[in-house]
Amino acid sequence: MIRVRLRRARRPRRTRERGQTRTQAQGTARFQNMYFGQSCGTWSGDVAWTATWQGSASDPTVTPTPTRRPPTATPSSRAGIYGQFRYRGVGVAGLKLWLRKCPANAACNFQTSKVASALTDANGYYQFTGVPALPAGHFYTVYFLNSPDGENPGDDRYLWRWFGRVINTYSAGANVHGGDADVEDIHLTGPSAEEITLPATFTWAARSQPGERYAWELFDPETGATLCYSDPATSTSFQLTASTFTNNCGGAYDRSYGWFAWVVDGATWDNNNGYGDSYYYTSHIIRSGGGPTPTPTRTPTSVSATATPTRTPTPVSASISGRVTAAGSGAGGLTLQLLGCSSGCAVVGSGVTAGNGNYSFTGLAAPGPGEYYVVRYINGGGVNTFNANYLGYWLTKAISTLPAANLNFDIRDVALQAPAHNTNAYLPITFSWASRSIGTDRFAWATSYSGTQFCTQSSPQNATSFTLDLTAATSCGMYTLTPYDWYVYVTNGANFNNGYGISGFARTYTILGAVGAVERRLPGRGEQEPSSSFALPAELIPAIPEAFGQ
């Protein structure tokens, strides 16, 4: 059975792309920008090889050698959360593990959720000591990340990540089993062709521990979004049919998709069971069985199903990149901030755009479940020198998968037109602004009082004007003889989710009354504050424009 809904709140989407190449039985493979670590950089070149094998089989398998599973870790005299990490059934030393405290009903940010770290000892045992009591509405979990972001060197003998069982209650000083894990990687074995026609069978080798359960997942490498995945099962293969691909996964033919495998420490996706994903993934262009056959650019070499690749792919560093322009020209020398977000956001990095406006944040940790990054530009505010021709700020869309490229945006300001600054007027009042002549732009009028935004258009529009009438002003809780500020949001598309910015200037206006209003006249301000409800998500919004009057 295959499902398309998320397994549970803690289940991660595919949040990190990892580099890969495919080999054939004989010939030459070209490796581009192979990543050898922060110190060594990358390498490109050709590698020639010959692979030999004997016999043939439809799907390669591994016959596991029965291994006696070590007993559950026993805590020492120290109190804490404990367990054991193994590799092929034997305790593995020196793994950096993290104890995370996460909200039970909200997103959990890896950086902010870290409570403590521990190294596995010579026998693979770990223990977190001095752990505080767990507050209500949270859980503890033990987490392993096989990369420098997790303070591990990145070893492709091991799984990419391991998510431990959920610990829902914990009292300070208690001994609680945090879960055991075997981090032996899952070796993906097929299909080997870059282009596949459905139905197609995806295969992987069983790990050395017998009786384990695995799951298959298909995702979009461009966005990182999960398309579909399977329930845990003892099988080491999954057949993707045309019906499943189009009806369950929502896939489209003639596009590239990635897949990888999970190992699950139990029969279900359950909070009591830990799980981890393969170090590498493989991508394929999926063709329809009845669709057009592409013309190859060279004649491929036939490869037996039992051929074993002679070279292992190298992971690619996680990054976020794009270009900043101003009226279409590259905007260099600007400081951009990288925000790490879950239930809230914090600045986790910064960088300066190149002369052509290009920017890149590299060596990033893959976001965990419910976590994401946002790139932010602020005009002034101690971050950049204020420029009267630029927007007040810009926020990109939420970035939940890495690497992420082409996060481009233009910071040309939205010029406010009417009414003028410090206008006193009767309702209805029409506010207008100039178009930026960018096809994807949409706009939303907004107003604030004393620095607090309280009313805005909830849906961005193509229009470059907005009329505030008596009905709208009453709905917003506005008052006469009260100075308000107005400004404009610009969005990249029909909603705020695709990235948005704010005009660099705001203007002040005062409502004197309403033309023709007798019984429904706006009240005087008195002691009552305006309504605090508004449609925009507040957590990422910096202060409203600090510059007035233009």
pLDDT tens, position by position, 461-474: 999 999 998 888 88
Confidence at residue 545, expressed as pLDDT on a 0 to 100 scale:
57
Confidence at residue 403, expressed as pLDDT on a 0 to 100 scale:
87
Place of tokens 């279409």: 328
Tokens read off for 494: 């029909």
Confidence at residue 451, expressed as pLDDT on a 0 to 100 scale:
73
Q: Where are the beta strands (DSSP E) in 88-206?
A: 90-91, 96-103, 114-119, 125-128, 138-145, 161-163, 175-177, 181-182, 188-190, 195-197, 200-204
Write the burial class of residue 246 (CB in 10 Å: 0-12 exposed, 13-18 middle, 19+ buried).
middle
Residue 506 and residue 342 in contact, taking contact as beta carbons nearer than 8 Å: no
Residue 144 and residue 178 in contact, taking contact as beta carbons nearer than 8 Å: no
Residues 6+ away with beta carbon under 8 Å from 540: 339, 341, 345, 374, 376, 395
Q: Give the single-character DSSP code of 196.
A: E
Query: What pTM did the predictor assign?
Result: 0.45
Confidence at residue 480, expressed as pLDDT on a 0 to 100 scale:
83
Please give the CATH architecture assigned to the domain spanning 319-410.
Sandwich (2.60)
Cα atoms in the Cβ-side hemisphere of radius 13 Å centred on 157 = 9
* Long-range contacts, 299-304 (Cβ 8 Å, 24+): 300/24, 300/193, 301/24, 301/25, 301/26, 301/27, 302/25, 303/24, 303/25, 303/192, 303/193, 304/25, 304/53, 304/56
Local structure of 56: helix, strand or coil: coil
pLDDT tens, position by position, 355-377: 999 999 988 888 888 899 999 99
Confidence at residue 303, expressed as pLDDT on a 0 to 100 scale:
27
Same fold, 319-410 and 416-548: yes
The string of DSSP letters for 422-479 reads TEEEEESEEEEE-----TTEEEEEEEEETTEEEEE-SS-BS-SEEEE-HHHHHHHT--
Confidence at residue 120, expressed as pLDDT on a 0 to 100 scale:
95
Tokens read off for 300: 């491929």
Residue 129 and residue 178 in contact, taking contact as beta carbons nearer than 8 Å: no
Please give the CATH architecture assigned to the domain spanning 416-548.
Sandwich (2.60)
What's the rounded Cα separation, in Å, for the pair 36 and 46?
16
What's the rounded Cα separation, in Å, for the pair 228 and 241?
13
Confidence at residue 538, expressed as pLDDT on a 0 to 100 scale:
38
Greatest pairwise CA separation for the chain in angstroms: 95
CA Rg value for the chain: 28
What's the rounded Cα separation, in Å, for the pair 332 and 335?
9
- With CA atoms as reference, report the closest residue to 338 among 375, 367, 365: 375
- With CA atoms as reference, report the closest residue to 259 among 280, 281, 274, 275: 281
pLDDT tens, position by position, 21-67: 333 334 444 444 443 343 344 444 544 443 333 333 333 333 333 33
Please report, for the chain, the start and end positions of each structural domain, with discontinuous segments joined by +.
82-293, 319-410, 416-548
Write the burial class of residue 352 (CB in 10 Å: 0-12 exposed, 13-18 middle, 19+ buried).
exposed
Tens of pLDDT along the chain (550 residues)?
333 322 222 333 333 333 333 333 344 444 444 433 433 444 445 444 433 333 333 333 333 333 333 444 454 445 699 999 999 999 999 999 999 999 988 778 888 899 999 999 999 999 999 999 999 999 999 999 999 889 998 888 999 999 999 999 999 999 999 999 999 999 999 998 889 999 999 999 999 888 899 999 998 887 778 889 898 999 999 999 998 998 888 889 998 999 999 999 988 888 888 999 999 888 899 998 754 333 333 222 222 222 223 223 333 347 899 999 999 899 999 999 999 998 788 888 999 999 999 999 988 888 888 899 999 999 988 899 999 999 999 999 999 988 888 899 999 999 999 999 999 999 899 999 999 989 889 999 999 887 777 788 878 999 999 999 888 888 888 888 888 999 999 998 888 888 999 998 889 999 988 765 433 334 443 333 333 333 333 334 444 455 555 5
- With CA atoms as reference, report the closest residue to 5 among 225, 228, 239: 228
Residue 19 and residue 42 in contact, taking contact as beta carbons nearer than 8 Å: no
Confidence at residue 78, expressed as pLDDT on a 0 to 100 scale:
53
- With CA atoms as reference, report the closest residue to 13 among 201, 190, 218: 218
